[in-house]
Amino acid sequence: MDLGLGGRGYLLTGASRGLGLATARALVADGARVLVSSRSSSSVSSAVEALGGAPAAAGVAADLADPGAADLLVSRALEVLGRVDGVLVSVGGPAPGTVLGTPEEAWRAGVDSVLLGPLRLVRALAPHLGEGAAIGLVLSTSVRQPIGHLAVSNGLRPGLAMTAKALSDELGPRGIRVVGLMPGTIATDRITEIEAASGDPAKARARTEAGIPLGRVGQPEEFGRVAAFLLSPAASYVTGTMVAVDGGILRSP
């Protein structure tokens, strides 16, 4: 399928590896140009190289928790891409912990990174988006059901999903779409690190896969293809919805 991405420009945060980088690959493969960002300059440089460099890809280091990051990202995107047809906003997962055991400062840090960071970026970018543009937010299956020992994510991701839904109402009259993506367990570096920390990575992987109807963890490119489609003109009538890419693990329809 031709997604209609030729000549279009996209900004992606948290995209030096994992789900963001997989989405950038899918966008570039279909003819789009991308500006990728993450907190690490060296990681951004490696990602840009992996994507083939200019003119298909450029990068900038930025931390969405920094109040000045949004304006930096938008100005750089307009400078490099010339036009911004969409954005994929992804941030790192907040600190793990239980509801009662997580200190207040961890909750505050989570609000800054998970909620306020994406909101600042969307507010800064929205005036520069035209009809047919798309905003994608990488959320989590914790939007629909809690994940053990991830209290901050369980508390904040549903709020961001509802914010995205409200934003789709606000931007719909301008022809701008807003979608959320809810990845399940995807084989990223973060998952590998979590499995390694368990002391028995193979056992941890088997335990995870036993709870997934498809019987396996997902691959980053499987998420990337879905995200690229949702950001593309091919998904022109999809907005205000949260799309699960989870192998069926969510129990809600």
Residue 191 is predicted with a pLDDT of 84
Tokens of 203: 């056992």
For tokens 């990575």, the residue is: 201
Residue 192 is predicted with a pLDDT of 84
Q: H or E segment at 23?
A: helix 18-29
- What domains are there in the chain, each with its CATH number? 9-245 (3.40.50.720)
Residue 172 is predicted with a pLDDT of 98
Tokens of 41: 């300059």
10-residue mean pLDDT profile of the chain (253 residues): values are 94 96 98 97 97 97 94 98 97 89 95 94 98 98 93 95 98 98 92 83 92 97 98 98 98 88
Closest CA to 81 of 116, 143, 32: 32
Query: Do the beta carbons of residue 90 and residue 12 sit within 8 Å?
Result: yes
